[in-house]
Amino acid sequence: MLLKELSPKILDALNQQVEMEAASSQYYLAMASWSEVQGYNGVAQFLYRHSDEERAHMLKLLKFINERGGHGLVPALKQPTVEFKNIHQIFEHVFSHELLVSKEINNLVDMCLSEKDYATHNFLQWYVTEQIEEERLARHILDKLKLIGEDKGGLYIFDRDLATLDSNDKH
């Protein structure tokens, strides 16, 4: 049995998620650049890797759309915020943003179930799992920053440690 093509509603929603993933990549890239300029090289390395990971998420969606008979659209993006108050604010933004992405993925999953598009629903389960890990990582980093507060020595060690944190190690 052949899979049916994507419905226009699902196609539009998937392309919106492509845009969200692309914007996420740009958002983390802007944070990485700011961090690097401020001397937080470890944070910058972490965020550059995270930006690349978000771009990979976008490509995975784009290719899926094309494989299912749709047309994955490359979105035009707005420039993200480029100035931040401090590292604490950056990771608060990261956490809030990951919660937003999770909400959108959940809406997509719900839409797939109501449209009875089980193939796309199955594909999106990878994103559901990924978002659980992304939220956990962001929460873990925020917890560390709360412990450190404004202690410069603690921030130095945090920055150094974040440089070596493997973005695939989200536990």
Task: Calculate the CA dihedral of residues 71, 73, 74, 78 and round it to 10 degrees.
Answer: -170
Q: Is 54 annotated as a binding residue?
A: yes
Q: Does 98 belong to an annotated binding site?
A: yes
Q: Which residues are within 8 A (CB) of 21 and not within 5 positions of it... i.e. 6 or more apart?
A: 54, 55, 57, 58, 61, 101
Measured between alpha carbons, how far is 114 from 108 in angstroms, rounded to an integer?
10
Q: What is the rounded CA–CA span in Å between residue 143 and residue 147? A: 6
Instruction: Determine if residue 38 is labeled as part of a ligand binding site.
Output: no
Task: Output the DSSP codes for 38-76.
Answer: TT-HHHHHHHHHHHHHHHHHHHHHHHHHHHTTS-PPPPP
What is d(CA 169, CA 50) in angstroms, rounded to the nearest whole number? 12
> For residues 73 and 119, what is the distance between their CA atoms, to the nearest angstrom?
20
Pick out the residues of the known binding site for Fe cation: 21, 54, 57, 98, 131
Extract the annotated binding site. Answer: 21, 54, 57, 98, 131
